[in-house]
Amino acid sequence: MSEINSTVIEAVAAALGLDDSEVTLESTLIDELGAESIDLLDILFRVERKSGIKVQASDIGDAIQGGIPDEEFGDENEIVTAAGLAQLAKVMPQIDVEALAGKLPAERIMSLLTVQNLIDIVIGKAKAAENAA
């Protein structure tokens, strides 16, 4: 397991008052582990403090949306569009795009975020910081 993996798992467990063994890569932060938005900020703070990699809550949204404008990512009813689902499939390969087609409210996306998805975002931020240096 990489250093970033263990850092994120430890941060999630500590922020949510869980044992490290209760946090799996497949666990969804909100639905399964019970994280709330304030917990997510705590997790990101802990990751930064331990690893030096700064990830903001907005970075998660940006990674999930992949630069697709809001009006193309969701329709007028705030249901994720086909273009939005295609992007989600890239950053959240665990989701069943076919099952969610035409049904996924944009507000539910964060509930699908797994520990592995968060790790991938942190790794992406670390690589971006390396390339900028």
Yes or no: say if 65 and 85 are a contact pair by the CB < 8 Å rule.
no
Alpha-carbon gap, residue 54 to 94, rounded angstroms: 25
pLDDT at 1: 59
Of 77, 11, 85, the residue nearest 43 (C-alpha): 11
pLDDT in tens, 16-55: 999 999 999 999 999 999 999 999 999 999 999 999 999 9
Helix (H/G/I), strand (E/B), else coil: 125: helix
What token pair was written down for 86? 């295609």
Nearest alpha-carbon partner for 78 in 55, 59, 106: 106
pLDDT of 69-104, one tens digit each?
999 999 999 999 999 999 999 999 999 999 999 999
Contact 67, 83 (CB under 8 A): no
Q: What is the tally of structural domains in the chain?
A: 1
Domain with 104 in it: 3-132
Q: What's the pLDDT score for residue 68?
A: 96
Instruction: Give me the pLDDT at residue 130, please.
Output: 86
- Checking if the pLDDT of 133 tops 80, the result is no
The CATH number of residue 23's host domain is 1.10.1200.10
pLDDT, tens only, 112-123: 999 999 999 999
